[in-house]
Chain A
């Protein structure tokens, strides 16, 4: 599916602190995608947005066993499902 502006899918970038969501799909490719998956941001994994940095970017996520930080730029490439 080619990129459509205002595509209505929710991404990690749209989450608020304290919210919980399940990762659906990556929209990044290559090294970025690999790196995100390496750190445990795999499809179907549940994440909680812990906080954003004092200047709003990057954000901190809580995964099953670790906490991971990433920039909003990359967070916007990770599609998430609704809170469960």
Chain B
């Protein structure tokens, strides 16, 4: 065969067989991730070239078998049946062949052209196992290539074997003898082979699946055949299954598994030898004796959580101090390209452009934190400790409908204080129990993300100066209480019908993670965040911008502001009369000069140290040598000093006018009107329209809640009060109390996830319905709780801190009650009453 031929190769194997590592070794950097149609299972593909053409590789989800019980198995099976790849590389764990070969036998039954990659040979050797690949290959009649994925060992041999197998058109023979079931299989095979519509389906495999009562195979049969024919075949299968089961007093599926297991045993006799000179306890066992020790385990867990928090959140946040100037620089660059600012009103392109850059920067600012977080997750996953975390905490979480593996998403989202729901939702991917996974996705946003903290700090600073520590304790521990309660509620109601699966998983041996593997995953996931979230957030930023800017100020109000602007300019002109720099006091110079002045001030503020300050000066002197003396008056130049003073006055007059305009614009904007329209409802929670607008705009990004409040509680010209003081005075004057603050805090804690998170909810659930639910449900819940607390507080005349304590301990009591007196589910009795009839 010398013609150029491109190949489609599927990589199939069990979890923990090192499939992904081998995939990376085969394909190198050229990889893509997509979704299988309609489901949230990742479809990873990549390619490489050999002498005869391109080889495209699809990494199937890791599966133990090919039943239709789990989503991953259904996806893998569909791919193999429908795409009929040229070669299937079955990656098996050399250190655990006994379990791995079950899948191999099932792949053979599907008549797929197989190559066996005997992976993790190093681990096998470490366990004292000696494997004879030739003998295994001869017995299976399949090429067997020993590999060590982590060191790319055996890669070329594997590539050669793939090409060779593709050129070899031999049929794959089934290896398992099913004994007493063979007559039934034979009859069904005969039936299937005379049906032309079934020519593309491997007959023996189909017969086995029908006898096994496999739902997906039955459905596919109904799709391929006219109804009467399909029913006839299904009835025959059912009859033969019934006959076998009464006769053998054994479930068909059990019989198949037992036969396969016997075959595996025969295949491996003489292939795998164990050297008995190895120590009986492995390193993993010795580590686990300490790490999973009843008393030490919680301590190690707390230490791990603390380390993640310290490294990713605390140090990562410090890192953003260094990356922020880069983003600020980018903003300056964009600002320079956009049309210049006007005296009072900026061109729309400028306002919108800067708004978009600001929105993007808010998200990009978290990139360093995400990189570290994702790298840490990869380390936890690869090392094997992740599975142990699930092992330690499953009991508690399971009581509330969650899963041992829900721990990590909660940690990432900021269980105590500081985290982000986006990586939290992303990390739910690995939870095998679908119902628990959904419950986790929907409760992760209740954690305290980094962006919620500024609002809490602000409100505590205003209303709870004396009880700051206690309130912070309530806020940071309340989140997990709410999350568990809501998880329980959802599991018992809307999530009731979701698929669940048992908690059965491998505790893999500890591995040292590889640097390359960790970095690759950290970068991949961060990129996914930027790509998925970035685009949507920009789109919504445009919408929010519009809602805040339309309909704009009325002509009369505009004329009034312009009048006041002209007055400020003319007083500047008067003051500048007789000054050596009076040439700037003309219409063509004033606005550019003011912009120049603002740019200079901002640049000086961002510059660090004397060095940076000098550089800024030099840059601005180059930019405009004529204006420069006015912003940085040279020593002894009295005219320049006076002009500079006047300029500062004018600039501050302009600023305060613009701020006033902004407030009026927001007040009369669509968002402002919505905020007002919501007052009749939010009144019960004590929210006025300003708080409503802030909460609405915080949907785009949490940070903006504080920023919007800053705009709404704007300060007067010469006042230099902090937002705390301003807001405190104004809201107290408006009748707001600590009780209002408690309502806001409770609402904010339960409030729907930010936009970025809801996008991720859509990605992880694969449905807009759940995305919508993740917005609507918390809003109603938050409003309900906030209203109840506020109304009861008003009615009983309780103070804010009293109501907060009541709420906190009420929720805690409910949690303990549910945790102690309700079971995790009603599966146990079900499992026993459906015990098989035989035996």
Please report A residues at the B interface, Cβ cutoff 8 Å: 1-3, 25-44, 50-51, 53-58, 60, 64-71, 73-74, 76-77
Contact = CB atoms under 8 A, between A and B. Distances in A.
A38 B62 CA distance: 12
B831 A77 contact: yes
Contacts of B295: 54
Contact of A32 (B395, B404, B502, B839): B502
A35 B387 contact: no
A37 B827 CA distance: 19
B64 A3 contact: no
B502 A74 contact: yes
A29 B836 contact: yes
B402 to A, nearest CB: 13
B69 A1 contact: no
B717 to A, nearest CB: 62
Contact of B96 (A30, A41, A43, A65): A65
B95 interface: yes
Contact of A35 (B294, B398, B501): B501
Given A42-B261, A54-B294, A76-B828, A69 B505 contact: yes
B67 interface: yes
Interface string B803-839: 0000000000000000000001001100111111111
B791 interface: no
Nearest to B272: A65
Contact of B503 (A26, A65, A71): A71
Given A42-B261, A69-B507, A74-B503, A31 B392 contact: no
A73 B503 CA distance: 9
Contact of B398 (A50, A71, A76): A71
A57 to B, nearest CB: 5
Q: Which 6 A-B pairs have the closest CB atoms?
A: A38-B64, A31-B69, A55-B395, A65-B96, A27-B835, A67-B507
Nearest to B390: A69
Contacts of B835: 1-3, 27
Given A53-B392, A58-B391, A39 B505 contact: yes
A34 B503 contact: no
B99 interface: yes
Given A38-B65, A74-B502, A1 B839 contact: yes
B392 A69 contact: no
A32 B501 contact: yes
Contacts of A31: 69-70, 501-502
B297 interface: yes
Interface string B37-81: 000000000000000000000000000110101100000000000
Contacts of B502: 28, 31-32, 35-36, 70-71, 73-74
B831 A58 contact: no
Contacts of B404: 58
Contacts of A73: 502, 824, 827-828, 831
A54 B396 CA distance: 11
A31 to B, nearest CB: 4
Nearest to A26: B254
Given A3-B832, A29-B834, A37-B257, A51 B504 contact: no
B69 A34 contact: yes
Nearest to A29: B834
Most A CB within 10 A of own CB, among B501, B835, B836: B835
B480 to A, nearest CB: 16
Contact of A56 (B127, B395, B836): B395
B507 A60 contact: yes
Interface string B120-134: 000000010000000
A54 B297 contact: yes
A73 to B, nearest CB: 5
Contacts of A66: 96, 99, 506-508
A70 B70 CA distance: 17
B394 A53 contact: yes
Contacts of A69: 387, 390-391, 503-507
B520 interface: no
Contact of B832 (A33, A43, A77): A77
Nearest to B827: A73
A33 B64 CA distance: 13
Contact of A28 (B387, B831, B837): B831
Contacts of B67: 34
Interface of B: 64-65, 67, 69-70, 95-96, 98-99, 102, 127, 253-254, 257-258, 261, 284, 288, 292, 294-295, 297-298, 387, 390-392, 394-396, 398, 404, 501-508, 824, 827-828, 831-839
12 contacts: A2-B837, A28-B831, A29-B834, A34-B65, A35-B501, A38-B102, A39-B506, A67-B506, A68-B506, A69-B387, A69-B503, A69-B507
A64 B839 CA distance: 26
B383 to A, nearest CB: 15
Most A CB within 10 A of own CB, among B258, B504, B839: B504
A57 B297 contact: no
Contact of A43 (B69, B258, B504, B834): B258
Contacts of B102: 38
Nearest to B261: A42
B650 to A, nearest CB: 69
Contacts of B258: 42-43
B99 A40 contact: yes
A74 B261 CA distance: 22
A68 B504 contact: yes
Given A38-B64, A56-B395, A69-B391, A30 B99 contact: no
B46 to A, nearest CB: 27
Nearest to A62: B285
B292 A51 contact: yes
A75 B55 CA distance: 45
Contacts of A58: 391, 394-395, 404, 503
B304 to A, nearest CB: 14
Nearest to A45: B261
A53 B839 CA distance: 32
B391 A35 contact: no
Given A50-B288, A71-B502, 11 more contacts: A2-B835, A32-B502, A39-B99, A54-B294, A55-B392, A67-B507, A70-B505, A71-B394, A73-B827, A74-B503, A77-B831
A57 B391 CA distance: 8
Contacts of B838: 1
B520 to A, nearest CB: 26
A43 B294 CA distance: 30
A84 B96 CA distance: 24
A74 B542 CA distance: 52
A54 B392 contact: yes
B524 to A, nearest CB: 28
Contacts of A26: 254
Contacts of A50: 288
A4 to B, nearest CB: 10
A68 B505 contact: yes
A34 B836 contact: no
B394 A65 contact: no
A36 to B, nearest CB: 6
B128 to A, nearest CB: 11
A74 B433 CA distance: 14
A77 B506 CA distance: 18
Contacts of A1: 835, 837-839
Contact of A25 (B391, B832, B839): B839
Contacts of A39: 64, 99, 504-506
A60 B295 CA distance: 16
A36 B69 contact: no
A64 B288 CA distance: 17
Given A32-B831, A73-B827, A60 B391 contact: yes
A65 B284 CA distance: 12
A41 to B, nearest CB: 8
Contact of A53 (B65, B127, B253, B391): B391
Contacts of B69: 30-31, 34-35
Contacts of B504: 35-36, 39, 41, 68-71, 74
